[in-house]
Amino acid sequence: MSNSENLLEVVGLKKYFKTPKGMLHAVDDVSFTIGKGKTLGVVGESGCGKSTTGRAILRLLEPTGGKVLFEGEDVARLNTNALRKKRKEMQIIFQDPFSSLNPRKTISQTIEEPLVLHGMIPDKKKRQQRVAELMDTVGLARRLYNTYPHELDGGRRQRVGIARALAVDPKFIVCDEPVSALDVSIQAQILNLMKNLQKEFGLTYLFITHDLSVVYHFSDDIAVMYLGKLIEKASADDLFAAPKHPYTKALLSAIPVPSLHDRGERIIMKGEITSPINPKPACRFEGRCPSAMDCCRAAEPKLVEVAPGHATACFLHSDARQGE
């Protein structure tokens, strides 16, 4: 994919947090690209750095290092005023639709707020009309215009969050586990809405989730994270058909299968989780990997392409030994 086709390019992104025991490597040298109008799903267990990656890209958390190139411009280098303008094009949908909404604002005020902050529609009547149009777009009845978040169910609250993100006509949206707090029946409605909005407005998504069955149907490409590192990246079909990394294989084996007979072999991960604080130069999955070798304890494998469009960071694949 050429650079002109990429909306976002993340290069060597790092985010470390200072702790009493040392530096916690929440995101460590993560690189990927997302094509215009495409969705990159980011998966991994809790604490792997998925949400921190999304927030560092938007500079809701200041990156420790690396580049975030949005249409070729490094977001990490922008000053306050330039970043404020750029934020119109880069938005986020938060995980918990209740805690991300101001309980003292009506939903119309919540959706209107970014328009006011960015001075986009000075005329109040036109702003209110825009809010009503956004409510129509995300499937919120206009009778809810003056209601408060506590009066709505989870699905409607998340629709408010989506409308707020859409208000400033963004090109790129970080979706931080946008359906994990919702009932299963509501999840499908919200995911279908987001897919339709992507087609209608040409949106580009970074879709963060721990639900592999959801990410498969929603994403064009999938990136797997483990303890701050990107360990595998491929198209959704390739990743599910032929996973390369032992961690990815274990994750896929845990997906529930609606069958009493064909359950497949469940891979149980044993051993100690490596500490993300001042980690040694070794594979971070080594302590839980059933295929760990001496080289895994001595060096950190690099993320390299082991099949067309399919990259992994594992010494089981000879190309990854470039990292030694």
Q: At what angle do helices 154-166 and 184-201 cross, to 10 degrees?
A: 20
For the record, the structure tokens of 13 come out as 């992104």
Contact 115, 130 (CB under 8 A): yes
The closest alpha carbon to 239, from 303, 309, 322, belongs to 309
- Of 137, 160, 139, give the one whose Cα is nearest residue 148: 160
Contact criterion met (CB below 8 Å) for 143 and 133:
no
pTM to 2 decimals?
Answer: 0.89
Handedness of CA 96, 98, 104, 108 (dihedral sign): positive
User: Which segments within 238-309 are labelled E, that is strand?
Assistant: 304-307
Residues 241-258: b if buried by 16+ CB within 10 A, e if exposed? eebbbbbbbbbbbeeeee
Per-residue pLDDT of the chain (324 residues; tens, 9 = 90+): 445 689 999 999 999 999 999 999 999 999 999 999 999 999 998 889 999 999 999 999 999 999 999 999 999 899 999 998 898 999 999 988 888 899 999 999 999 999 999 989 899 999 999 999 999 999 999 999 999 999 998 889 999 999 999 999 999 999 998 888 788 888 888 899 999 999 999 999 999 998 888 898 899 999 999 999 999 999 999 999 999 999 999 888 877 666 555 556 777 777 778 889 999 889 999 988 888 888 888 889 999 999 999 999 999 886 555 444
Segment 200-240, tens digit of pLDDT: 999 999 999 988 888 988 999 999 999 999 999 999 999 99
What span, in angstroms and rounded, lies between the C-alpha atoms of 159 and 96?
12
Residues 160-184 have pLDDT tens digits of 999 999 999 999 999 998 888 788 8
Contact 197, 158 (CB under 8 A): no
C-beta separation of 34 from 7 below 8 A? yes
Q: Pick the closest to residue 69 from 159, 8, 136, 4 (CA basis).
A: 8
Q: Is 111 helix (H, G, I), strand (E, B) or coil?
A: helix
- Torsions phi, psi of 24, nearest 5? -90, 120
